[in-house]
C-alpha cells in the first residue's frame, strides 16, 4: 500500500497526522457519524451546545461523564501506537479532532487537540482549567468561584481554541507529508488543514474505510483502517 510513496516518506523531514473519530473507533470508542455513532442515539443539539448546557447542565454532564468513563476504559490501538513510534525516525505532529487523549497515552509528544479534551474541565466564568482527577461530589460540578464547571470541549457553534488552531495551521503549512486518518473531513474548520498542506506542496495521504470529499485529491487514498495501515508506515521508516 505505502510502497508507491515510500521514497517520499523517507525523504520527508516532517510528517503531520490529522486524525478523527475513525482511529479511536478501533479502540472501542464509537464515532459520531458512523452507524453506531453517538449522534444516532442522542440529539446533539440537546447535548453538545452551550445553550443545551445551560438549559439542562445535569443531563449534559451525565452524558459526558458516561463518555469519559468509556474513554478511560479504552486503550490506544496499533494505529495510535504506530504514530507515536514514528517519532523515533521523523518529526511528527498530530492534529486531532478527538477529545479522548489516546494519542498522548500511546506516547505521542506533539498533539494539538482541536476540539479540546474530555479529560479536562474549565469554569464557565473564571479562568480555572484542570484535569479531572476524581469523581465529582455533585453534578453539575461547581468551581471554587461558585460558578458551574463544564467539559473542556468545543461544542457546536463554538470557535476552536485560537492558539491551538493557529499552531495547527502552522504545522500543516510546514509538513512534507500529511496523513489524514479516520476523519470524514466535513467538519469546519478542521477540514481546511489538508488545504494548507497542499498549498505547501505536501504529499497527501488518506487512510479511511470510507470515501471522503477529499479522497479524489489525495496522492494516495487507502480504504482500510488505521490499525492495519499505519504499522506498515513504521516498517518503511525503521
Q: Is 167 annotated for ligand binding?
A: no
Which residue among 80, 103, 115, 150 is the active-site one?
A: 115
Q: Is 209 annotated for ligand binding?
A: yes
Peptide bond into 189 cis (omega under 30): yes
Q: Is 208 annotated for ligand binding?
A: yes
- Name which of 129, 106, 133, 126 is nearest 116 in CA terms: 129
Q: Is 100 annotated for ligand binding?
A: yes
Q: Is 98 annotated for ligand binding?
A: yes
Q: Is 211 annotated for ligand binding?
A: no
The verdict on whether 115 is a catalytic residue reads: yes
CA distance 204 to 224: 16
Give residues with Cβ within 8 angstroms of 39, minimum separation 6: 32, 33
Q: Is 123 annotated for ligand binding?
A: yes
Q: Is 184 annotated for ligand binding?
A: yes
* Strand order across the beta sheet in which 149-153 lies: 129-131, 116-123, 149-153
Q: Is 97 annotated for ligand binding?
A: yes
Point out the annotated binding site. Answer: 64, 67, 97-100, 123, 126, 143, 145, 182-184, 208-210, 226
Point out the annotated binding site for substrate. Answer: 64, 67
Point out the annotated binding site for NAD(+). Answer: 97-100, 182-184, 208-210, 226
Catalytic residue numbers read 115
Amino acid at each position: 500500500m505505502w510502497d508507491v510513496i515510500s521514497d517520499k516518506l523517507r525523504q520527508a523531514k516532517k510528517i503531520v497526522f490529522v486524525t478523527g473519530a475513525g482511529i479511536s473507533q478501533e479502540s472501542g470508542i464509537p464515532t459520531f457519524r458512523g452507524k453506531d455513532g453517538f449522534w444516532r442515539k442522542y440529539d446533539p443539539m440537546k447535548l453538545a451546545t452551550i445553550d443545551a448546557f445551560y438549559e439542562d447542565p445535569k443531563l449534559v454532564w451525565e452524558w459526558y461523564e458516561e463518555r469519559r468513563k468509556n474513554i478511560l476504559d479504552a486503550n490506544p490501538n496499533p494505529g495510535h501506537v504506530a504514530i507515536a513510534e514514528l517519532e523515533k525516525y521523523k518529526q511528527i505532529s498530530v492534529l486531532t479532532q478527538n477529545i479522548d487523549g489516546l494519542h498522548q497515552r500511546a506516547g505521542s509528544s506533539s498533539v494539538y487537540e482541536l476540539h479540546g479534551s474530555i479529560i479536562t474541565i474549565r469554569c464557565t466564568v473564571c479562568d480555572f482549567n484542570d484535569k479531572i482527577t476524581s469523581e465529582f461530589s455533585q453534578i453539575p460540578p461547581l468551581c471554587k468561584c461558585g460558578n458551574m464547571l463544564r467539559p473542556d470541549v468545543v461544542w457546536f457553534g463554538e470557535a476552536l481554541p485560537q492558539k491551538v488552531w493557529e499552531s495547527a495551521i502552522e504545522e500543516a503549512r510546514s509538513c512534507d507529508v500529511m496523513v489524514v486518518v479516520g476523519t470524514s473531513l466535513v467538519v469546519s474548520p478542521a477540514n481546511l488543514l489538508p488545504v494548507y498542506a497542499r498549498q505547501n506542496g505536501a504529499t497527501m495521504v488518506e487512510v479511511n474505510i470510507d470515501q471522503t470529499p477529499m479522497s479524489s485529491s489525495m496522492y494516495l487514498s487507502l480504504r482500510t483502517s488505521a490499525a492495519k495501515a499505519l504499522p506498515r508506515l513504521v516498517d518503511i521508516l525503521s
